[in-house]
Amino acid sequence: MKQHVEFGKDISISIFDVVIVITVIFITTLILRLVLRIITRNLPPIDKGKFNVVFSYFRWLIYVVILLVTLHTVGINVTAVFAASAALLIGVGLALQTLFQDIISGVFILIDQTVHVGDIIEIDGKVGRVEEIKLRTTRAVTIDNKVLVIPNHLYLENSLYNWTQNGTVTRENVQVGVAYGSDIQLVKKILLQAASTHPDVISSPEPIVVFTNFGESSLDFKLIFSLGDSFKAQFPKSDIRFEIDRLFREHNVSIPFPQRDIHIIQKPKLK
């Protein structure tokens, strides 16, 4: 004899129905574990971890679908269940809207592999080295050793700069201006010397100097060089600026400051 528990006019659940639902969920769990084991059997450890995170998200979606189908099969009016909890579902949906955006963005990040652990990224003006990628957030550490927690939906709303996607070597630059009349070949030699003598500057590709512009008060140059760790680029760049200033003083090359010539024209007095 079946025992029924009634939650309303259209919703009635028996103990046998509960047993069926539990059995179906148990069988679904076994099948999902088997499928996960078969798919990840030959994957590298890094890719296996990423797939497990993505699969865990879709696993809950499969559970919801299986549960609804099972309830409908055993004769439970699923429409009535939704109707009874419509207001609650709308409120929960609005509250979890940002959460779902973060989760979906996290799935995209893990699938297309735009960001990896160890990458140096810049987003919304903040720079950090990625330490952990989760389904909802990405955790990075800034140059000041501060933890930067980035909601994954920001990747869809902002431009993301991955400094190390093409490799750990990046091209950096230091800009400087010298006074008009300076020996520009000497300036080029000094700039190359300042870069090539720094221990953190990579010799290949070699540093280069670009004459960028005839400025209003100076001849403008850009010293371009390569670093193996761009995350701490501000320190080698600071050292190179110190060395440029020292060499400029040693060779009497001056760095001008903005100047303006003011001409005062006095009108003749009217008689």
What is the C-alpha separation between 141 and 149, in angstroms, rounded? 9
pLDDT of residue 1: 43
Q: Would you say 142 and 127 are in contact if contact means Cβ atoms under 8 Å apart?
A: yes
Smallest CA-to-CA distance from 225 within 239, 245, 215 is with 239
pLDDT band at residue 39 under the 50/70/90 scheme: confident
Can you give the pLDDT at residue 189?
Answer: 95
Q: For domain 170-250, which architecture applies? A: 2-Layer Sandwich (3.30)
- Check residue 188 and give its pLDDT: 95
pLDDT at residue 197 in the model: 92
The confidence score (pLDDT) of residue 78 equals 61
44 is written with which tokens?
A: 């590298």
Question: In the chain, where does the domain assigned CATH 2.30.30.60 lie?
Answer: 114-162
**pLDDT per position as a tens digit, 74-83:** 666 666 555 5
Q: pTM for this structure?
A: 0.57
Alpha-carbon span 65 to 101, nearest angstrom: 20
- Pick 89 or 192 by higher pLDDT: 192
Max distance between CA atoms of the chain, in angstroms, equals 125
Q: Does domain 114-162 have CATH number 3.40.640.10?
A: no
Structure tokens at 219: 């001849």
155-to-35, 56, 113, 122, 254 alpha-carbon distances in Å: 31, 21, 13, 11, 45
Q: Rounded distance, CA 193 to CA 201, Å?
A: 11
Q: What is the pLDDT of residue 53?
A: 66
The token pair that represents 181 in the structure block: 């009349």
164 touches 119 (CB < 8 A): yes
Task: Summarize the confidence of residues 257-270 as an average pLDDT.
Answer: 72
CA 270 to chain centre: 71
Higher pLDDT pick, 146 / 72: 146
Q: How far apart are CA 82 and CA 197, in angstroms?
A: 71
Q: Which pLDDT tens digit goes with each residue over 100-118?
A: 777 777 777 777 777 888 8
Model confidence band, residue 7 (pLDDT cutoffs 50, 70, 90): very low
Sheet holding 126-133, edge to edge: 147-151, 137-141, 126-133, 120-123, 160-162
Task: For residue 75, give the 3-state DSSP assignment.
Answer: coil
Instruction: Among 21-30, 53-62, 140-149, 243-252, name the most confident range.
Output: 243-252
